[in-house]
Structure 1
Amino acid sequence: MILHPRPSPIAASMYQLRDIGIDAIILHGPSGCCFRTARLLEIDGIRVFTSSMSENDFIFGAMDKLRNVINEVLEYLKKECPKKEPYKIGVVGTCASMIIGEDLKSAVEEFEDIIIPVEIHSGLNDNTIGAVRAMEGALLSGLITNREYERQKKMLLKATEIEKARGMAKNKYLKPNYDDDLEKFIEILKNAKKEIKNGKNLKLACILNAKKETAYLFSNPLLELNKHFNCINIANLDENIGFDKIRKDAKNIVKEFNENGFKIDYITGGLDEYPIACENALSYLIELNPDIVIVSGVPHALLIEKLKDMNPNVITVGISDGPRLYHPIKEVYDFCIIELDAHAKVLGNEKIVKSRLGEILSYLNF
């Protein structure tokens, strides 16, 4: 049992549908369901509609209303976004529609365009279940291959495993923490710079292990650190893995790195492979045996304690999103820095976004 709020499977299915490349999403439920997710996705260019179920619909059902909404959405798309190929629409369940047993699959059968039903509600606990069900719908609709479905499912299940063991899905209450170790980390960097000037050969390893588009923000601290230090850089920025959007995001970041003279020494995987890319990063780190390690994105996915067992003197820093992650990260890292609202800041962007830490580093003169 998890005692603190967690992301919803409904929201996860909506983000996954966006990655698949749908044109619009219809939430079959009350107009307020997943309001924040809907608005954030619209920043990213996804049109989100609702069937606006009411109290009467909870009793008598709303299948006819849903069919009418699908027709209205198709008319809207034909007018506002004309194109030759069939439109792709995700129809996503909510707690209200799923509890009363609305059959989304039967509601979409009459349409010629590609309508992907995702029967999901928030009572399924793991948010990644929503993403898996979106993938199942995409597979049945022929939008993805079975091979890609299996790869994606493996990543999602691994992500759940990591969050339950080391992250925000722990079965205890995680108190939000809005203070972090930023000032202490800056002091460490200042001391490192002094030691380097005095002739010490310090190895500083920067690791990007970020989840999808959040890499636009979590790559920023590494970009700034490389302006001050000769870092060894490790990143999950394989441009040939994932859906078109994921590949494009990786290409955009690599391009910007190159323009800033940023060299990636080792690529660990794709932007949707952070649950396993961390394993490749760890193997590389153990060979490298650095003095300071900074992991940005999903640092708790990396078993940093294995490196510390080998070298107890290594200084480890985790950079992540969300005040509830501070304590889980501090259990395994020496220092933790929290970036707030990372997801909201990167949506709609195709360039690296300034992070709190990165902005501070850009003004420092060691």
Structure 2
Amino acid sequence: MDYIQPRPSSIVAALYTARDLKVDVAILHGPSGCSFKHARLLEEDGMRVLTTSLADNEFIFGGQEALERVLIRAEETFHPKRMAVIGTCVSMIIGEDLQSALHATTVPSIAVDVHAGFKENIEGVILTLVAAAEAGWISGEELERQRRLLAAANEVERLRGAASRTYIEPERGDLKHTAAQRLLELARSGARGMAVMNAKKETAYMFADELLALHEVAPDAPVRYLANLEQRGLPKVRLDAERILQGLEAGGLTPELVGALDEYGALGDQIGEEIIKTDPEFILLVGVPHAVPARYTEGREVFSITNGPRQVAPLRELGHQHVLVEVDLHPKTLGVRSIVESEFGAVLRSLR
């Protein structure tokens, strides 16, 4: 499909994957403004992001010396345990040899020949993981597992997500206080319910709060809680799952575990089967709600919460009666180490 709406960048995807691999310093080999916003956000998450600041002179004569200088300076300044050199459109066009520059450092490092011209941003993830596997940072089995999960996530977006149309008008969703009142009414009425978190990686630090809030305001309601917090995946992903589960348990909620934080795109049928078993009258579905096919939610009152304004219309087409958006969720969950209060959770608590 040809898109006329902006799509995620494969360069940025490579940066986030480097972070999940516990890289301490990532060096973007390109202009200083390349991926600036995400570079700044990732620094808040604990990974240093540097740039070789290539300019017009290097565009002509090459930037290999600049890259080696930054590698040496990064090692001397930050004493990292792992580093990654991430390519850009400029480094690709001028034909830079990123791998050969790694001889300038003694730190375990990988080079990722990536650019923003791929049709799908998951190419940036795969290229980074391939480099990590070649360096012995992850196993061949984990690499193949990640390939399968990425393909599943891509398919969900293509079928029922923000990539399902050429252009989707961004929306803010329904009013949170109206949806919260209805959810609380159902929970307190004795209706059978399910609250399911199927969240993508660090976004779970906020989506988990919505389950916690429902449990706080209706602790005795017949609601079954599920969360994708099993211990699998890359180092940071496993650590995030552990911290979030501890936060939920500290709040008095011990959910049933269904899948891991990096398996959000592949859990639709598994979650759906649990819905069929429980036969709930209402469902609170947060994170990546469109991963669950409509055949499992038909005939039930669904409250779905996403962080994607372009996901609102597709969720309504799936028959979800209440569609809500947690605005600016991602910046609020980078760099955190414990559950972050959500807007919807705060509204629910205010109705107590």
Same fold? TM cut 0.5 = yes
1:278 CA drift (Å): 2.9
Residues 215, 253 of structure 2: 8 Å contact kept: yes
* Partner AA of 2:304 in structure 1: G
Alignment partners' CA distance in 1, 2:201 and 2:95: 33
Deviates more, 1:184-193 or 1:346-355: 184-193
Identity rate of aligned residues, in percent?
A: 37
1:32 CA drift (Å): 0.4
Residues 333, 340 of structure 2: 8 Å contact kept: yes
1:307 matched to which residue of 2? 296
Shift of the 207–220 alpha-carbon distance from structure 1 to 2, 3 Å rule, reads same
2:313 matched to which residue of 1? 327
Residues 176, 347 of structure 2: 8 Å contact kept: no
Q: 1:269 aligns with which of 259, 283, 293?
A: 259
Question: Quick check: 1:236 aligned with 2:228?
Answer: yes
1:67 CA drift (Å): 1.1
* Partner AA of 2:174 in structure 1: D
Alignment partners' CA distance in 2, 1:74 and 1:258: 40
Q: TM-score, normalised by structure 2?
A: 0.94
1:358 matched to which residue of 2? 345
Segments of 5+ residues of structure 1 without an aligned counterpart are 82-86
1:36 matched to which residue of 2? 37
Residues 172, 324 of structure 2: 8 Å contact kept: no
Alignment partners' CA distance in 2, 1:187 and 1:252: 30
Residues 32, 52 of structure 2: 8 Å contact kept: yes
Residues 268, 278 of structure 1: 8 Å contact kept: no
Q: TM-score, normalised by structure 1?
A: 0.91
Residues 6, 168 of structure 1: 8 Å contact kept: no
Q: 1:286 aligns with which of 258, 272, 276?
A: 276
Aligned length: 347
Alignment partners' CA distance in 2, 1:125 and 1:32: 22
3-state SS of the aligned residue for 1:124? coil
Residues 198, 286 of structure 2: 8 Å contact kept: yes
Q: Deviations over 1:56-100 (max 9, x none)?
A: 11111111111111111111123xx6xxxxx31110011111122
* Partner AA of 1:182 in structure 2: K
Residues 194, 224 of structure 2: 8 Å contact kept: yes
Deviates more, 1:252-261 or 1:44-53: 252-261
Q: Deviations over 1:99-136 (max 9, x none)?
A: 22212122224543222111111110211111111101
Q: Deviations over 1:124-180 (max 9, x none)?
A: 021111111110110111111111111112111211111121112234111111242
Residues 174, 324 of structure 2: 8 Å contact kept: yes
Residues 3, 171 of structure 1: 8 Å contact kept: no
Segments of 5+ residues of structure 2 without an aligned counterpart are none
Within a 5 Å distance, the mapping from 1:146-161 to structure 2 comes to 146-161=140-155
3-state SS of the aligned residue for 1:226? helix
Within a 5 Å distance, the mapping from 1:6-155 to structure 2 comes to 6-78=7-79, 87-109=81-103, 111-155=105-149
1:183 CA drift (Å): 4.1
Residues 180, 347 of structure 2: 8 Å contact kept: no
Within a 5 Å distance, the mapping from 1:249-264 to structure 2 comes to 249-264=240-255
Q: 1:316 aligns with which of 302, 307, 325?
A: 302
